[in-house]
Structure 1
Amino acid sequence: MAELVYRPVIGFARTMFAALDLKIDCKGTENIPRTGGAVLVSNHISYLDFIFDGLVALPQKRLVRFMAKESVFKHRVSGPLMRGMKHIPVDRDQGEKAYAHALDALRSGEIIGVFPEATISPSFTLKSFKSGAARMAQEAGVPLIPMALWGTQRLWTKGRPRNFKRQHIPVTVRVGEGMEAPADQYAGAITRRLRDRVQELLEAAQRAYPVRPKGPDDTWWMPAHLGGTAPTAAQVREAEKG
């Protein structure tokens, strides 16, 4: 079936990234399967993460269908694009329909993209993972593909203005080997292993990141445990309670 929307959007994204002269360091794309279904699982630190997650599949000539909150599909600009790219809307009060849709897509050989933290992490550290990705992989009989992004928060993240004027921002991406999700194992245990693997990839991406904050006013994008001024996970949880 022709991809009348997805491929032009990819072309636009590549043009935009070229104009910004983004320095994208991506390793592990060979771990994306060339055929068959898979669940691509990523950390979530930016509104642009799905674009970079989708780009990692292109060398293997694959397109990723992302599960995203329903409000994105209702937006006058993003809605038509999301529907045209065959992404999957998620109503958080009635998630069964989206889950069934994703299962059908996996069984038909699609790659489904999932952010198991559900929302952007303001601390830029991993939040707890929901078990949906593992359960989908189990039911569909497909692998989980862990990956991690770093640097995308400097472009556009929660609580910060978009930063599309500053050029040369590096983005580091690491894709890990596929993980099996046996049907006879507890989904929670698989989810813990998956989160551990994404954490390893995130730390690898952070170590490989070529720049550090340039001064006191540029520490917001670094997590507190690495010397930055981003709120800690505990501070974020406390703020969310209020």
Structure 2
Amino acid sequence: MVIPVFRFTARYHWHGPQRLPEGGAFVLAPNHFTNIDPLVVGTAVWLSRRAPRFLAKASIFRVPVVGRLMAGMGQIPVERSGRTRLNDPLGGGKSVIEQGGAIIVYPEGTLTRDPDLWPMRGKTGAVRIALENDVPLIPMAHWGTQRIMARYSKKLRLFPPSRVDVIVGDPIDLSAFRGKPLDQKTLLEATDLLMQRITELLEELRGERAPATRWDPSAHNQKETGKFA
């Protein structure tokens, strides 16, 4: 049901020569700024002849009808507490990788809080899956989904069709991190490299420069808390 709808409502414009690998496992890491992103990105991956598999909040799987659809499409539930059905927050992703599949992980973990929709500080899940399983980590950026659904909105704008620009980058060079203990320092350094590359791709699509300092939700929350201390 999703593919025909979004092939109609999203006019995809691909940038650059890079395309997703035709075979083999990899982790795809896109930017994330609207609730409709997974459907638009999933359709883009499907158009590249790969089956999209997402790590998704487990609460979605408890929604009537939607949950059954998500499970039927092979999406992977992740509990906010850090546990999945496999008692491992990344275990479902590993099983997809072992089968040679492509898994989509939003490294920001949620919609960006940056006021201008630039990528914010990332979390380490995408990098961890790629390093633990020794598979490519591919950055991706898109722009235009906010015309289909604004950030935090529940209202879809399906007509007229909206332009969605998409760019897939070269796999991140993780050679400096492979073989090292996957401690927090290593994972954060690799994640920062990933977020930098995603931001560069989005700059190319938007034709403008991102802020020099990436939005940090924890730092922002501390500032807001301090106002009322």
Q: CA deviation at 1:29?
A: 7.5
Structure 2 vs 1, CA of residues 134 and 165 (structure 1 numbering), >3 Å: closer, same or farther?
A: closer
**2:111 corresponds to which residue?**
120
How many residue pairs match? The answer is 210
Question: Could you list the runs of 5+ residues in structure 1 that have no partner in the other structure?
Answer: 1-11, 209-222, 226-231
Q: Once the two structures are superposed, what CA deviation does each residue of 1:162-217 show, in whole Å capped at 9, x if it has no partner?
A: 13254132211111111243422522222111111100111111129xxxxxxxxx
Judge conservation of contact 1:29–1:59 (CA < 8 Å) in 2.
Answer: no
Question: Aligned-pair RMSD on alpha carbons?
Answer: 2.9
Question: Could you list the runs of 5+ residues in structure 2 that have no partner in the other structure?
Answer: 181-185
Q: CA deviation at 1:56?
A: 2.9
Q: Distance in 1 between matches of 2:20 and 2:145?
A: 21
Structure 2 vs 1, CA of residues 235 and 127 (structure 1 numbering), >3 Å: closer, same or farther?
A: closer
Letter in 1 for 2:55: M
Structure 2 vs 1, CA of residues 180 and 36 (structure 1 numbering), >3 Å: closer, same or farther?
A: farther
Secondary structure of the residue aligned to 1:98 is coil
Please identify, of 114-123 and 131-140, the stretch whose mean Cα deviation from structure 2 is larger: 114-123
Secondary structure of the residue aligned to 1:76 is coil
Q: Distance in 2 between matches of 1:204 and 1:113?
A: 21
Q: Distance in 2 between matches of 1:113 and 1:53?
A: 9
**1:204 corresponds to which residue?**
204
**1:13 corresponds to which residue?**
2
**1:215 corresponds to which residue?**
none
Q: CA deviation at 1:51?
A: 1.9
**1:149 corresponds to which residue?**
142
Q: 2:14 aligns with which of 26, 45, 66?
A: 26
Q: Once the two structures are superposed, what CA deviation does each residue of 1:130-180 show, in whole Å capped at 9, x if it has no partner?
A: 111111101111000100111112222443341325413221111111124
Normalised by the length of structure 1, the TM-score is 0.76
Q: Do residues 106 (structure 1) and 97 (structure 2) align?
A: yes
Matched residues, percent identical?
A: 30
Judge conservation of contact 2:7–2:43 (CA < 8 Å) in 1.
Answer: no
Normalised by the length of structure 2, the TM-score is 0.79
Q: Do residues 171 (structure 1) and 164 (structure 2) align?
A: yes
Q: CA deviation at 1:126?
A: 1.0
Q: Distance in 1 between matches of 2:131 and 2:37?
A: 25
Letter in 2 for 1:189: E
Letter in 1 for 2:45: A
